[in-house]
Amino acid sequence: MSKVLTSGSWVKINSETRRRVRLFCFPYAGGGSSAYFSWMSAISPDIEVCPVQLPGREDRLSEAPFTYIEPLVEELAQALTPHLAVPFALYGHSLGALISFELARHLRRQNGPAPMHLFVSGCPAPQLPATDAPISQLPDEEFIQALRRFNGTPDTVLQDADLMQVLLPLLRADFALYEHYTYVPEEPLACPISACGGLQDFRTTRAAVEAWRLQTSHKFMMRMYAGDHFFIHTKRKVFVQGIRQDMIIRDEKSST
């Protein structure tokens, strides 16, 4: 079995890999790197899945989570840059989509390495005005009720008072990241963007996914899948296949 090393506790890199592309995966609100462990053997022999672990969750539970994207992206860039000497792509779901998008723009502003592809899912395009009411400061019961609408946290967890006392600070911080986010216009990214959504996702409509088109001067691809906000789990096999196909398309175009 290949040895997996933890670098700076932010990302897991396989020290023995010879794959052609690294795919850095950013979690949704309340999620951790384990959400992407099943992708490692499912996506492609040529793509190394590198789940990113943010502070405040799983094996970084004791660390304070971020509540603003700007400082988070700055630290991410410092942690990941040593691993960006090979071709790489960025992927994020929901909150992770905003983080990966802003990381790509931060790297560009710093004249750093550029991703060969940006994949986003379950997230309206960043230039669109927010439509969700703020929830991060709601009383516990109202906050938990709001979480139920996203259908991403099992009821068994939401009903476990002791567990929720552990998770609530992280969940509140992650939703604060959304609520504090302010989009600043910049030139579109030069890499292709693939944007995906769930057909039954109440907060990310087809039009909101389509609007990501304005964030790239390169090729734009969109896919909609049956399912709600967390279609990436219920439709994991076909969703991961779509990522693999788009990466192959990019690789073929870059070699001609």
Catalytic residue among 94, 100, 136, 194: 94
Q: How far is CA 55 from CA 30, 174, 222, in A?
A: 11, 11, 31
Q: What pairing do the DSSP bridges indicate for beta strands 88-93 and 21-26?
A: parallel
| Residue 121 appears among annotated catalytic residues | no
Q: Are 67 and 56 in contact (CB under 8 A)?
A: no
Among residues 13, 21, 82, the alpha carbon closest in space to that of 53 is found at 13
- The count of residues in the chain is 256
Cα 164 from Cα 227, distance rounded (Å): 26
* Amino acid symbol at 85: A
DSSP strands (E only) in the chain: 4-7, 11-14, 21-26, 47-51, 88-93, 117-121, 193-198, 220-225
Question: What is the set of active-site residues?
Answer: 94
